[in-house]
Amino acid sequence: MNYIQNKNTDTYDHSCKVAILGAGPVGLTIANYLGQAGVDVVVIEKLDQLIDYPRAIGIDDEALRTIQSVGLIDEVLPHTTPYHAMRFLTPKGRCFADIQPMTDEFGWSRRNAFIQPQVDAVLHRGLQRFDNVQVLFSRDVQQFEQDDQGVTIFADKADGSHETIRADYMIACDGGNSYIRRTLDIAFDGKTAPNQWIVVDIANDPLATPNIYLCADPVRPYVSAALPHGIRRFEFMVMPGETEEQLNQPENMRKLLEKVIPDPDNIELIRSRVYNHNARLAERFREGRIVLAGDAAHIMPVWQGQGYNSGMRDAFNLAWKMALVVQGKAGHELLDTYEQERRDHAKAMIDLSVLAGNVLNPPKRWLATLRDSLSWLMGYVPPVKRYFLEMRFKPMPKYTKGAQVEVKGDVKDSPVGKMFIQPKVLNEDGQEVRLDDVIGAGFAIIAWGADPTWGLSSQQVESWKALGATFIQVLPAVQMKNPREVSDDVVRVGDLQNRLKDWFGAYPASVVITRPDRFVGAVAIPQTLGKVTDEYLMVLKAVPCLAKGSDDSQKVA
């Protein structure tokens, strides 16, 4: 059936601002953010329910901060193991890289174990809070078309009937084999590793030791990971000629497990699956009113646990921009900054994941010998040891262009384009809270010691309010008992741990503008804040620009 030619252009089964294709973690997270922003959303999922088999097992601090932003962190934390260490072992059992993620600059443990279906279920239940969000399961998208005003999606239902969904924008979160990306003929460059791996999940953990171990066994490398709720995950490389069916036979499964546990017959097997390691990146992330996110835009090997987390970075980066655009508060050009900011970092995470895989399983035997020798020596060099212990090798996002105001001049270590810290602060009720809980879901203008509205005109203050901004004055915690010297528009917080004082003291700026995804969009001092605000609102094509009579915020070139 040709849905395009036979569509009824006057009526649709569902109409919304944003259609999201795929009810995985990225799609669900975006839907939660848009839902709380009041945006009408339809989530379209091909399956009849969420995927229930375990996939990702590592969630980082940035992803937890994203979940915090949609109000679901308290439901997710019980399904995590914080401060999850990662240790690389030589064939003889010597640890040659011990990654102990003990820092928490973004408010949460830097590396955490989790079981993805449990967190996906929390994200799905979270959508029940919003009357403006609808989830459609058992919808197989057959065709779609876009025009200057939106996207029309044609889907088959489980009973064989047809359904149309009309949206201003569509976000494709439909996985590495994305139908949307393939139909748009967007290249997905990269490669698939020649070897496969089998994942084995076991209940009532037979080892029960914490953390995750990656053993560089030259015969058959393997991974052993402790997960929440007493789950143990093993991953073994599949040798040439082996099939999933063969490996799942009891005698062969026993041979695999006897490498890692003393009694392979006494286990409670949950499931096992064979998968490939892919490293691929979409040529572009946007085509008109259609945007790619998560695995549809990039996929990477599992070794640093960054596939899931990179998708969550996409979700946070894209969701706030999409919300402003469809609400008419920002120009559609803001969506172009999503690819500008996310694509390069996704590439960096792909490269890191490939490198980690090569460390675990070097392509040449002599490289394994070199690795073991160098790792032994590097353990005695304190700076190198700290490099691994503190996970400094992980490329942190640093956007050099996009939805931000660049610092002019040759200024080293500018915080613009980096994620802002999230320490615990003292609120005006005397409670100890995390900073993001004060900020809320939008922008924030945060000033050290000063009134964050002092350098702004009344029109600029109203412009920031229209974007949902929170004005925050940071004081030393001991000053919070003093009478308020700022207007009711300003929230005061006390710096409990001197982390905010240290942050502002490291750079010659006392005011920071943070974006809804907690990245620094601009910095200023009170006397330059008005000028910087004008520049930033121009970058966003926000309220002041639209107020001058522009009516093309929803037009797409």
Residue of 447, 453, 450 lying closest to 465 (CA atoms): 453
Round to whole Å and give the CA distance between 520 and 500.
14
Round to whole Å and give the CA distance between 1 and 7.
11
Round to whole Å and give the CA distance between 138 and 499.
49
Q: Give a yes or no: residue 109 inside a domain.
A: no
Residue 128 or 104, more confident: 128
Q: Give a yes or no: residue 212 inside a domain.
A: no
Predicted pLDDT at 90? 78
Report pLDDT digits (tens) over 143-168.
Answer: 999 999 999 999 999 999 999 999 99
CATH number at residue 460: 3.40.30.10
Helices 25-36, 61-69: crossing angle, 10 deg rounding: 40
Q: Quick one: 465 and 328 in the same domain?
A: no
CATH number at residue 23: 3.50.50.60
With beta carbons less than 8 A apart as the criterion, state whether 18 and 289 touch.
no
- The band of 134, judged by pLDDT with boundaries at 50, 70 and 90, is very high
Report pLDDT digits (tens) over 411-461.
Answer: 668 999 999 999 999 999 999 999 999 999 999 999 999 999 999 999 999
Predicted pLDDT at 11? 83
- The band of 304, judged by pLDDT with boundaries at 50, 70 and 90, is low
Q: Position 312: which residue type?
A: M
Domain tally, the chain: 2
Q: Give a yes or no: residue 362 inside a domain.
A: no
Among 334, 357, 380, identify where a domain stops: 357
Other CB atoms within 10 Å distance of the CB of residue 112 = 24
Q: Give a yes or no: residue 84 inside a domain.
A: no
Q: Is pLDDT at 182 greater than 90 in this prediction? A: yes
Among 303, 329, 357, identify where a domain stops: 357
Predicted pLDDT at 16? 98
Q: Quick one: 290 and 182 in the same domain?
A: yes
Q: Quick one: 330 and 434 in the same domain?
A: no
Among 357, 377, 394, identify where a domain stops: 357
Q: Quick one: 44 and 152 in the same domain?
A: yes
Determine the structural domain holding residue 124 and report its residue range: 3-50+61-69+115-187+279-357
With beta carbons less than 8 A apart as the criterion, state whether 527 and 455 touch.
yes
453-466: buried (b, 16+ CB within 10 Å) or exposed (e) per residue? bbbbeeebbebbeb
538 by DSSP, 3-state: which? helix
Q: Position 121: which residue type?
A: A
Q: Quick one: 432 and 322 in the same domain?
A: no
State the average pLDDT for the chain: 87
Residue 554 or 254, more confident: 254
Q: Quick one: 344 and 440 in the same domain?
A: no
Can you list the positions of beta strands (E) in 399-443? Answer: 424-426, 432-434
Residue of 227, 224, 257 lying closest to 360 (CA atoms): 224
Predicted pLDDT at 390? 45
Compute the average pLDDT of residues 498-522. 96
Model-level pTM?
A: 0.89
Q: Quick one: 433 and 527 in the same domain?
A: yes
Q: Give a yes or no: residue 451 inside a domain.
A: yes
The residues with which 88 forms a beta bridge, in sequence order, are 97, 214
